[in-house]
Amino acid sequence: MRLLVILNLAFLCAFAVTMALMILLNQQKFGDILRGLDDSRVSVVTLDTSRRLRQAVDLGLPLKDIAESRSIVDALIDDYPELQSASIFDARGKLLVHGGNALNGGKAEAPADWTDGNREAEGEVWRIEDPESFVVGAPVINNFGKLEGGVAVRYSKARYASIVGGLTKELLEAAAVIFLASGLLAVLGTAAALWKLTTTARYLRQSVENLLNSDQEETPVDTDLAEFVGYSVSVRETAAKLAAAEASRR
Amino acid sequence: MIRGSRRAPTLAGLGIRIGFVAVAALIAANAVLAWVALGAVETRLEPVIKDKANVLARSIANDLYKAVSLDIPVGDLRGVDTYLEDLLTDHPEVAYLAVTDPERNVLFLAESEDSQDDEFQPLAANASEAQAGAFISFDTDYNVTHPMVHDGKQVGYAMIGIDRRFVRNTMGGIFTDIGISLCVAVLIVLELTLLVLSLTVARSIGLMRRLMHAVSEGDFSASIATRGRDDLGRVIDAMNGINAEINRRFRALASGGSAALETLREGRVFAEHGSYRSVQVLRAGDVQYPLFFFIFGVELSRPFFPLFVRDLYDPSIGIDASIAIAMPMSVWVVAMLFTTPFAPGLIRRFGTRNTLLFGMAPTSVGLIATAFAGGFIELILLRCLTAAGFGLVTAAILVRLAMTAPERRRALNIGVFVTATGGGSICATAIGGILAERLGYENTFLVGAALVFVAMSIAFGFLSPDEGVGASAGTSASRRRRLGIYGSPKFMTFMALSALPSRIVLTGFLFFLVPLYLDSLGFGGAAIGRTMMVYFLVLLVMNQAAAVIADRFQNHGILILVGGVSAGVGCMLFVATADSLLLACGVALIGLGQSFVMTPQVAVLPTYFRVETEAHGTGTVTAAFRVVERAGSIAGPLLAGAIVAFAGLAHAGTLVGYGILATTALMAVLLAVGVFSRRR
């Protein structure tokens, strides 16, 4: 019984660790794919918006004078409810148009890391994270190569965390059931494998206990423990001599 | 009366049956979990993919709308194919992008290579099913269509197909990691099975046999200390009971002054004063299991350690980066050197179990503290602490193995050490890389510390506290005589031509150069771990084979030469390629070389250096070998770092390879002229 418990405790620990690792790997890979798809989707939206604004600045208009900026931002917020906010800002970081949740406690300036990212992006999409959101932005550059400003959208980390959390919960529930089933299988299988050893040990113990019992005349032979034959002969002989000595003393 | 015979299951058979059950349950459980996970991931990603496809379709429609708004027919536009091809490149999940006319005749099309291979026909038969913004699955794709409207009239459609295999293929990227994790888990389960069976069943049966043998020889003065109440423990209790009863009756007769006492004493030994001699079974395998988990924990950082040091490297200390990265690895060996000589004395005084615990405790503390190391100097100090314990543990186990092994089985017995360290290292490098990539370097150190705690628990729970107390590691020698071994030119030549190069390959090339070189090729932590794992895998498989060959044919010298050539060629192959398979082959050759060298190197010590062994003792010669060998381990990373600073990563590898081949050639000459010989 003790052997069965020790073995299966060890097995169950190994099962639990492996399954935890499996869940961790799946969760992280899923998170990577989800993040990649979300990021790619928002990047398409941001680049589209940046291109639309560029068409206007290519005509020579400064970014702050583009009349359709407000409608572009409002359309973004309406069409993509998962976006927390959409912002258009000039090259110095002044917010020109903003839609969705307030930014920076309602300040009129875009965060410094947005303008830094926008400046260093060289026409490509830039990405940063803040504690609550993922931010994707794209610069707006006119046809003379001048940086006019940028567009940035924020989408919530909460949605990402909720989807990944849902997967983790589902996997944990499945793992608990599978762990119980596999644990039961291991316990039953191990018990079956140990059954013969257990019965042999009981039989051997009974044989040993009977060695000093004078009613038992024959000693069973255990073929795997050849030493038992010499052992039992020695015990019986010594016991007989002791008995003879005890009888002579009486 | 009890009749008949009963055959107890053999230990090997029992191990196979139990191991099979456990491994089958483990694999089945993880296979089911992987299947559930894949389904759950696909279900959750489907709406995300749909949103992405819609956004992309709308984006294409918007881009084309500018031309459409100028009344240019969609079919007359130039460059749309290139535009679609560019989009396809940017979005790997997309199987095809198409622009059609209002009748859904394809005007422009870009397909992924996979789709072309499948003779893919975009929307051929089912295009009419694709409604605006609708998400339709047919063939192997999710399909989305978005209408282009001008002045209330449909002028065409933008259509997108997302490859349904994308999720499966992308998730497939973790199947290698899962497979490796599962292999490691299988190895651990088998180790656990053997551990428990060895330390319970095999030990109990061994003790029973010892006691039966003693009694059959007439010795009733022995007894077995039992722990736990299992079935075999009850058999031992019964046997102890028999001895106790016989001794009680003998002592009763003795106290009465029976004349038959002398007859009884003939050929028999009794515990006449009531104290019993304890029966012990010392087996090499007893220390294998704590060592396995100990090495597993410590080596977990192996695939990323140089990269971890590189992150903490501070240029203000004024040392070249390559040499600075090598320093903690060399310092590690220096700290090991300080504690190694204490192992025999500590075993004699406190026993094997306590010596192991003395070593494991600072190691685990060091690993925990390393996880929180904030600077380069701090890291160096913490590595000293960790290595001090590591040195004590490995030296204690080696000394114990050397003390208990008969000469002709010495290589096989030392093989227990190499097998445990090899098994632990395989698991560590494979899992360490994965954990580092997923959990970060710091958390991986903490996992390592937890594994060292497991090793401590096994050592504490299963090893006898007084085992090894008072034992001698061969001839007792004074300090002067112990140091005298280092003055033997023959011994030091052997060290310089075989032991030192093999350690330089291990620490300078494998542990230092390989992670940095793979990182420079763009390999991630898991991939570095997988590649390094090949070394330990080959070592584990080939080590026992080399030990058996060495013991059977007594051809240690030839094995050492073959090993040197293999390691040298492996180093040169590794840095000559960027191909994953060839890189693994290079590492495998190094592993093959080391497996041929490591066990015979230790095994030949008493025969090649018979005079020195008789003068200084087996323990002293073995300890001296380890000390000099570790000097090679110190030099290895520093030497490699210096060569890297001078010649770059690839050339450094080639130079190390040439160096190994040169020392092997010199060794061959000395063996040929009989400087090292088995003859007295």
The predicted-structure confidence for B150-175, as pLDDT tens digits, reads as follows 777 778 888 888 777 776 777 766 67
Task: Reply yes or no on whether the pLDDT at A10 is more than 90.
Answer: no
Statement to judge: residues A140 and A17 lie in one domain? yes
pLDDT for A105 equals: 65
pLDDT for B342 equals: 84
pLDDT for A227 equals: 75
Under 8 Å between Cβ of B657 and B568: yes
Under 8 Å between Cβ of B374 and B368: no
β-strands B153-163, B222-223 pairing: unpaired
Tell if the CB–CB gap between A249 and B260 is shorter than 8 Å. Answer: yes
Output phi, psi for B95, to 5 deg: -85, -35
pLDDT for B116 equals: 53
pLDDT for A220 equals: 54
Local structure of B386: helix, strand or coil: helix
Percent helix, strand and coil across chain B, each to the nearest 5: 75, 5, 20
For chain B, residues classed under CATH 1.20.1250.20 are 282-672
Mean pLDDT of B351-368: 91
How many C-alpha atoms does B196 have within 13 Å on its Cβ side?
A: 22
Statement to judge: residues A150 and A233 lie in one domain? no
Statement to judge: residues A51 and A109 lie in one domain? yes
- Bridge partners, B110 (sequence order): B97
pLDDT for B70 equals: 77
Residue A34 within a domain: yes
Under 8 Å between Cβ of B653 and B660: no
Residue A101 C-alpha, separation from nearest chain B C-alpha, in angstroms = 22
Task: Reply yes or no on whether the pLDDT at B246 is more than 80.
Answer: yes
Residue A197 within a domain: no
Task: Reply yes or no on whether the pLDDT at B588 is more than 60.
Answer: yes
Under 8 Å between Cβ of B570 and B561: no
pLDDT grade for B452, boundaries at 50, 70 and 90:
very high
Q: How far apart are CA A200 and CA A191, in angstroms?
A: 14
Residue A192 within a domain: no
% of chain B residues with pLDDT over 90 = 11
Statement to judge: residues A23 and A124 lie in one domain? yes
Task: Reply yes or no on whether the pLDDT at B409 is more than 70.
Answer: no
pLDDT for B567 equals: 92
Statement to judge: residues A114 and A227 lie in one domain? no
> Which residue range is the domain that position A222 belongs to?
210-250
pLDDT for B228 equals: 60
Q: What is the biggest distance separating any 2 CA atoms in chain B, rounded to whole angstroms?
A: 131
Site of tokens 């046999």: B209
The predicted-structure confidence for B192-207, as pLDDT tens digits, reads as follows 777 777 777 777 888 8
Report ipTM for this prediction: 0.81
User: What CA–CA distances, in Å, run from B12 to B17, B286, B440?
Assistant: 9, 16, 40
Tokens of A87: 């912002």
User: What CA–CA distances, in Å, run from A116 to A51, A111, A112, A122, B423?
Assistant: 20, 9, 6, 11, 50
Identify from B2, B3, B5, B6 which residue to disrupt to test chain A contact, counting A C-beta atoms within 10 A and taking the largest count. B6
Q: In degrees, to the nearest 5, what angle opens at C-alpha B458 toward C-alphas B457 and B461? A: 80
Output phi, psi for B321, to 5 deg: -55, -45
pLDDT for A250 equals: 65
- Bridge partners, B496 (sequence order): none
Q: Which of B58, B207, B215 has the alpha carbon at shortest distance from B145?
A: B58
Tokens of A18: 């492996």
Tokens of B27: 């694999």
Identify from B196, B250, B272 which residue to disrupt to test chain A contact, counting A C-beta atoms within 10 A and taking the largest count. B196
The superfamily CATH assigns to domain B282-672 is MFS general substrate transporter like domains (1.20.1250.20)
Going B39 to B41 to B44 to B49, the CA torsion angle's sign is negative
The predicted-structure confidence for A57-82, as pLDDT tens digits, reads as follows 877 778 888 878 888 888 888 888 88
Quick one: which H or E segment has residue B65?
helix B11-69
Chain B residue with CA closest to A244: the answer is: B260
Under 8 Å between Cβ of B354 and B374: no
Count of domains in chain A? Answer: 2
- Cα B51 off chain centre by: 44
Tell if the CB–CB gap between A24 and B232 is shorter than 8 Å. Answer: no
Q: How far apart are CA B382 and CA B79, in angstroms?
A: 62
What residue spans of B340-373 are helical by DSSP H? Answer: 342-371
**What residue type is B525 in one-letter code?**
G
Give B230 or B3, the one with higher predicted confidence. Answer: B230
% of chain A residues with pLDDT over 70 = 92
Beta strands in chain A (DSSP E): 83-90, 95-100, 126-129, 133-141, 147-156
For chain B, residues classed under CATH 3.30.450.20 are 45-172
pLDDT for B405 equals: 59
Tell if the CB–CB gap between B253 and A18 is shorter than 8 Å. Answer: no
Tell if the CB–CB gap between A182 and B25 is shorter than 8 Å. Answer: yes
Quick one: which H or E segment has residue B405?
none
**Given A163, A191, A225, which residue is the final one in a domain?**
A163
Q: How far apart are CA B195 and CA B15, in angstroms?
A: 10
Quick one: which H or E segment has residue B211?
helix B203-216
The predicted-structure confidence for B178-194, as pLDDT tens digits, reads as follows 777 777 777 777 777 77
Statement to judge: residues A156 and A235 lie in one domain? no
Give B135 or A114, the one with higher predicted confidence. Answer: A114
pLDDT for A169 equals: 93
Q: What are the chain A neighbours of B261 within 8 Å (beta carbons)? A: 245
Tokens of B354: 């306590």
The superfamily CATH assigns to domain B45-172 is PAS domain (3.30.450.20)
Residue A174 within a domain: no
- Bridge partners, B277 (sequence order): B222
Site of tokens 């600077």: B375
- Cα B436 off chain centre by: 14
Tokens of A35: 């993040």
pLDDT for B677 equals: 67
Task: Reply yes or no on whether the pLDDT at A31 is more than 90.
Answer: no
Statement to judge: residues A85 and A147 lie in one domain? yes
% of chain B residues with pLDDT over 70 = 86
Q: Which residues contact A40 (CB under 8 A, 6 or more apart)?
A: B52, B90, B91
* Structure-derived torsion over alpha carbons of residues B328, B330, B335, B340, reported in degrees to the nearest 10: 140
Residue B59 C-alpha, separation from nearest chain A C-alpha, in angstroms = 7
pLDDT for B678 equals: 59
Statement to judge: residues A151 and A220 lie in one domain? no
Q: How far apart are CA B601 and CA B608, in angstroms?
A: 10
**Given A126, A147, A163, which residue is the final one in a domain?**
A163
Chain B, window 334-373: residues with a beta carbon less than 8 angstroms from a chain A beta carbon: none
Give, as one character, the DSSP assignment of residue A145. Answer: S
Tell if the CB–CB gap between B242 and A197 is shorter than 8 Å. Answer: no
The domain that contains A52 carries what CATH number?
3.30.450.20
Statement to judge: residues A128 and A52 lie in one domain? yes
- Give the mean pLDDT of chain B: 80
Q: Which of B352, B448, B328, B327 has the alpha carbon at shortest distance from B402?
A: B352
Residue A26 C-alpha, separation from nearest chain B C-alpha, in angstroms = 7
Q: Looking at the partner chain, which of B6, B32, B182 has a beta carbon nearest the beta carbon of A178?
A: B32
Mean pLDDT of B648-677: 86
The predicted-structure confidence for B460-511, as pLDDT tens digits, reads as follows 877 777 776 666 555 445 555 666 777 788 888 888 888 888 888 888 898 8
Mean pLDDT of B110-137: 53
Residue A50 within a domain: yes
β-strands B222-223, B277-278 pairing: parallel
The predicted-structure confidence for A162-220, as pLDDT tens digits, reads as follows 999 999 999 999 999 999 999 999 899 888 888 888 888 888 888 888 877 766 555 55
Residue A89 C-alpha, separation from nearest chain B C-alpha, in angstroms = 22
